[in-house]
Homo-oligomer: A and B are copies of this chain.
């Protein structure tokens, strides 16, 4: 899976806005992202679009996020909306309505709604329940934060001397995902977890702790994870995890190894990096003999 984390100042020079207006900024982000979606679609089954990078441009930016979800669907991609929302139950109902439920208005294209979203479950089950209900009803999914990739998260998650807080969150996510009608025929729930790979032992322990939970695995590339470090995230049959690369792919035009080969052709750099990434992850699924 490729993650779209677009920042105006980091776009290929040819795509940067010519004038400092909100409309030009939104248009530039959208042009770049539409291009990236078309380039990566032959290589990966899914993309993750992070709403934060669009909210930097206010409501107009969030509107572009929804249009890009639809464009990704038109490219044949599954889409994870990386929104990390988490609020008390009465508010979560409304967030779910806008981010995962079927639209209630004819003029809202159902393709603008992603197939899954990321959530923060730190306010408890009520904060995620409306999303889980929508996922079950519409054949969609959620990924709840269990072990985030930001190294600074350790000061929150590794406190005290007893059981680790992320293990506690893992147990809650496993429980929330075991409800009636949530586990499909392949033994995986529509309630997944975001689990950054760290040392092999702790990652394997989380995988074992969450036998029915699909994992969204961030951190490949720019954040230091390798395909090999992601290996323990898969179940023994090779299912159960999706590996995300964001900056390592979408900003490949800044990397010397791709510039050398493709020059200023940013699209060729992104395509090349995506193919390498996809092959790297696919290699994990080959028999190791």
Contacts and interface: CB of A to CB of B under 8 A. Distances in A.
A121 B145 CA distance: 13
Contacts of A163: 159-160
B172 A91 contact: no
Nearest to A149: B88
A125 B98 contact: no
Counted per complex, copies of this chain come to 2
A222 to B, nearest CB: 9
B125 A155 contact: yes
Given A84-B86, A95-B56, A120 B121 contact: no
A57 B98 contact: yes
Query: Mostly helix, strand, loop or mixed at chain A's interface?
Result: helix
Contact of A22 (B62, B107, B149): B107
Interface of A: 5, 7, 20-22, 25, 50, 52-53, 55-66, 84-92, 94-95, 97-99, 104-108, 112, 120-127, 145, 148-150, 152-157, 159-163, 165, 168-169, 172
B124 A122 contact: no
Most buried by B among A21, A97, A157: A97
- Sorted nearest first, the 7 A-B pairs with minimum C-beta distance are A59-B63, A124-B152, A88-B150, A126-B152, A59-B62, A56-B94, A56-B97
A68 to B, nearest CB: 11
A160 B168 CA distance: 9
A201 B55 CA distance: 40
Contacts of A169: 156
Contact of A87 (B52, B91, B108, B126): B52
Contacts of A66: 58-59
A76 to B, nearest CB: 23
B52 A95 contact: yes
Given A61-B98, A92-B52, A94-B56, A150 B127 contact: yes
A91 B53 contact: yes
Contacts of A63: 58-60, 63
A150 B85 contact: no
A91 B31 CA distance: 20
A97 B60 CA distance: 14
Contacts of A88: 148-150, 153
